Amino acid sequence: MAEPIPNLSNSVKLKYVKLGYQYLVNNFLTFLIVPIMAGLIIQVLKLGPEEIQSIWNSLQFDILQILCSSFLIIFIGTVYFMSKPRSIYLVDFSCYKAPVTCRVPFSTFMEHSRLILKDNPKSVEFQMRILERSGLGEETCLPPAIHYIPPTPTMETARNEAEVVIFSAIDDLMKKTGLKPKDIDILIVNCSLFSPTPSLSAMVVNKYKLRSNIKSYNLSGMGCSAGLISIDLARDLLQVLPNSCALVVSTEIITPNYYQGSERAMLLPNCLFRMGGAAILLSNKRKDSRRAKYRLMHVVRTHKGADDKAFKCVFQQEDPQGKVGINLSKDLMVIAGEALKSNITTIGPLVLPASEQLLFLFTLIGRKIFNPKWKAYIPDFKQAFEHFCIHAGGRAVIDELQKNLQLSAEHVEASRMTLHKFGNTSSSSLWYEMSYIEAKGRMRKGDRIWQIAFGSGFKCNSAVWKCNRTIKTPTDGPWDDCIDRYPVFIPEIVKL
C-alpha cells in the first residue's frame, strides 16, 4: 500500500519561512548596497597604480567649488539639526505605595458593601460576582474615608488623600533624582474626577514653594488615558523651552467618587478602582541623556468623542435617587476596540518594521480590489516592541488587547500583575507596570516599550519609549516587598 503524501503545511516550518521573509525585507538595503560596494572595491583593486594615478589627475579641483560645496554642506547640516525635534528624556519616575492600613481584602469589601447596601441585597450580590471575576487581589487599597461606614467623602478627606498620594510620589522622585524645587520649569497634574479650587497643581506649587514663573497645568475630566495626554503636553512644551525639566503627576482621587447607590452600571467602578499615583520627571537637557532611563519616541492620540455612543460610554451622572457615580456602558469594550484600531493604524507606520508594513499593505489592497472577505492582517507588534504596558482597566480590557494584538502571557504579565496587586489606579497604572518590568530585571538598553491607555471621551492614547540604559533591579518602589511572589496564578473566578 502506497504511503500517503505528507501534508506540506505540516511538514514545512512556516514559522521559519516568515522569519526568513522578515530578515530579508528588513535588511533589504543592506543586501542591495553590500554587493554594489563589493563590486566597486573589486574593480578598483583590479586597476594598476598608473591607472589610479591617471584617474586622480583627471579630477579637476577648483578651490572656489570646494569652498562653496563645504559652505552648502555646513548650511544644510545646521538647518537640519536646528529643525530636528529635541530629544525628550524620562529621567526617572516614582509610584505611590499605600500603607497596609488602607488595604481592602475581599472579605472587608463585601462586609462594607452589605452594611452600606443593606436594603439592596441584589446590588451586593452583583458586586460580589464582579469582584470574583475582576482579577484583583487581596492587597488593593482604598483611601481612609472609604473605610468608614458609611463612607465620609468630604472635600477635606479628598484633599487629604490627594496630598498623601501626590506628595509621597514627588518626595520619592526628588530623593531618587536629586531634583530640587527650583529646578522644575513645567508642572502638569492630571486627575480626572477631583478638581478642587485652588487646583491640585496649585497645591503642589504651594507645598514645594515652586518658582513664580513656573508653567503649571491642571488636567481634569480626561479619564484613565490622561497620563499620556500629560506626557504629550510636556513633550510639546519641552520642544519650545530649551534646557528645561517637566514634572508630571498622574493620579485619581477615589474619596469623592465612591458610589453609594444601587445602579449596577455605576457600582462597577467601586469594584475596580483603587488609590494610586505616579510622579514622572522629563527633561530635554543634554546632561540628563546619560542618567535618564528612557527616551520618548512617539505619542499617538485617538479621540472618538464625535460619536455619541463613544462619548457616553463612560459618563459621570446622577442616578434616579440623585447619587453621583460613573456609568460604564455595556458597549465599552466594542468602543475601546474601535478606538484601538484607529490608534494602531496611526502608530503602525511609525514603529513597525518594513516586513510587517508590506504584509499589512498587501492585505489591505487585496481586500479593497479582490475580495472584501479576506481576513484582515493584524501586524505583529512583537516585532516592534519588547515590552507592553496595557492600561490595567480591568481583566476584560487586558484579555481583549492580548487577543487582538496576539500577545503572549508574558507580554501582558505586567498589566495583569498590576491589576492584581494595585487594582485600577487609573492614569498611573502604566507606571506601576513599568516599575514591575524594572523590578523583574527585564529592562535592557535599547528595549522598546509601548504604553496603551483608554479613557472617557472616548480616547485611546499610546506612548512609545526606548530604554536609554540597562536598568538595574531597584531595591525600592511599589514592588520591593513582593516582587519575588510574582507572577501569581489568577483564577478565572475567585469564590467568595
Residues recognised as catalytic:
224, 303, 387, 391, 420, 424
Is the distance from CB of 355 to CB of 381 less than 8 angstroms? no
Q: How distant is the alpha carbon of residue 257 from its chain centre? A: 24
| DSSP summary character for residue 243 | S
Q: Which residues, 6 or more positions from 461, have their beta carbon under 8 angstroms from its beta carbon?
A: 225, 228, 229, 232, 299, 300, 301, 302, 343, 452, 453, 454, 455
Could you tell me which of 129, 89, 88 has the C-alpha nearest to residue 106?
Answer: 129
Residues 324, 337: Cα–Cα separation, whole Å: 27
DSSP 5: P
Tell me which residue of 241, 225, 157, 232 sits closest to 188, measured CA to CA. Answer: 232
With contact defined as beta carbons under 8 Å apart, do 420 and 488 qualify? yes
Contact between 225 and 219 (Cβ < 8 Å): no
* 18 sits in which H/E element: helix 14-26
Amino acid, res. 468: N
Q: How far is CA 401 from CA 44, 330, 334, in A?
A: 56, 17, 12
Alpha helix positions (H), 134-246:
144-147, 155-177, 200-208, 226-240
In terms of Cβ atoms closer than 10 Å to its own Cβ (0-12, 13-18, 19+), residue 325 is: buried
Query: What residues contact 428, with CB distance under 8 A and at least 6 apart?
Result: 95, 96, 227, 250, 251, 252, 276, 277, 278
Alpha-carbon gap, residue 258 to 108, rounded angstroms: 16
Contact 258, 144 (CB under 8 A): no
147: alpha, beta or left, given left = phi > 0 and alpha = psi -120 to 50?
Answer: alpha
Cell of 304: 472618538
Report residue 395 as a C-alpha cell. 481583566
CA distance 112 to 118: 10
How crowded is residue 250: how many other Cβ atoms within 10 Å of its Cβ? 34
Paired strand residues for 455: 459
